[in-house]
Structure 1
């Protein structure tokens, strides 16, 4: 049996732990069917694969030097990294430590052509993230130009309608008016803040 570590990741707060469960389930089944023994699990939740600032990912890379496992199994290569540089760098680190990277869904074999296929998939993963970021920013810009809400908490005194337009929140508007009137009457920011906190 080849000792292996399982690595799972999802990239957005909008995703859920079910994504992790599905990845780990597929990894464990693959391991059972292909002569691997899972001896460790590393999981990063709501962490992008476009950079390496992932706590469990870094712990896994560090642990790869310990000799505790001989392979890292991921559901797909884009769970490991969505950056070609990071993918190449950390795969090299694993290889130096005698650890192979294995994908449940992508099998390249040992033929020279596999180098091209693996590189192509890594490029597509990086393109997907870059293109998604561009499209999101474009959508946010279009919303902003149309005076629509682009996400997050609306400014104090406003609320967001069903069609993403801003409208005055009457209750919060009274607070805004109170703040401005208090400033005009010479009250300090500290006094205004204390009074508002007392009001709840």
Structure 2
């Protein structure tokens, strides 16, 4: 008797991700909807990730971090979320995540947004989202530049606060006449001024480096 070849459909290892912003909210509605979608689409849910009482804009979301780590270990074929705003902190974060999933060969589905990155419409939406992120970045840069120009026009200082001239001169003096470290020069100036140096240690380090480079260079 001739052997029959197997025609089983490969398992699509799927992770779901849900997020609620307060402890009073329940992620059950999201999880129920995600499981129902996975069942209809023939996806095998191997992990469910949930972040509770974490803002969408807060950097630290432990379960999202674990999901991304699992994807990078090639343990997932698909990531399923309820809506974009439950997953991403911003448009730029969404674009970075989708780009990484694309590189890893991981399918991404947002149920309520009706976006699936394996479909032609989903690929088109990915391109639109990327264009939106570029526009968002350009508009932010434009607003910052306009704000700086307006501040300069009104005579306001733009950028980091200027270093007090007397303090800078004292740093230069100590750099030339002593071999004290940057930390000790910063501490000495703070002692002289009653406990507040009036300048950051990084600025002291920059001045000391410049002065000692001049002193050590051949004339």
Q: TM-score, normalization: structure 1? A: 0.53
Please report how far the alpha carbon of residue 50 of structure 1 lies from its aligned counterpart in structure 2 after TM superposition.
Answer: 1.8
Partner of 1:63: 70
Q: Which has the larger radius of gyration?
A: 2
Distance in 2, Cα, partners of 1:58 & 1:81: 12
Unaligned 5+ runs, structure 1: 124-200
The match for 1:81 among 78, 88, 99 is 88
On the 8 A contact 2:57/2:90 being kept in 1, the answer is: yes
Distance in 2, Cα, partners of 1:122 & 1:22: 29
Partner of 1:10: 20
Q: Which has the higher contact order (CA 8 A, sep 6+)?
A: 1
Q: How does 1:105-144 map to 2 (within 5 A)?
A: 105-108=112-115, 109-111=119-121, 113-115=124-126, 118=129
Q: What CA deviation, in whole Å up to 9, does each residue of 1:73-116 have, x standing for no partner?
A: 00111111131121111222222222121111122441464346
Aligned CA distance change for structure 1 residues 61 and 6 (closer, same or farther; 3 Å): same
RMSD: 2.5
Unaligned 5+ runs, structure 2: 1-10, 135-219
Aligned CA distance change for structure 1 residues 99 and 113 (closer, same or farther; 3 Å): closer
Q: How many residues align?
A: 120
Q: What CA deviation, in whole Å up to 9, does each residue of 1:40-84 have, x standing for no partner?
A: 011100111124310110111011022221111001111111311
Distance in 1, Cα, partners of 2:68 & 2:124: 27
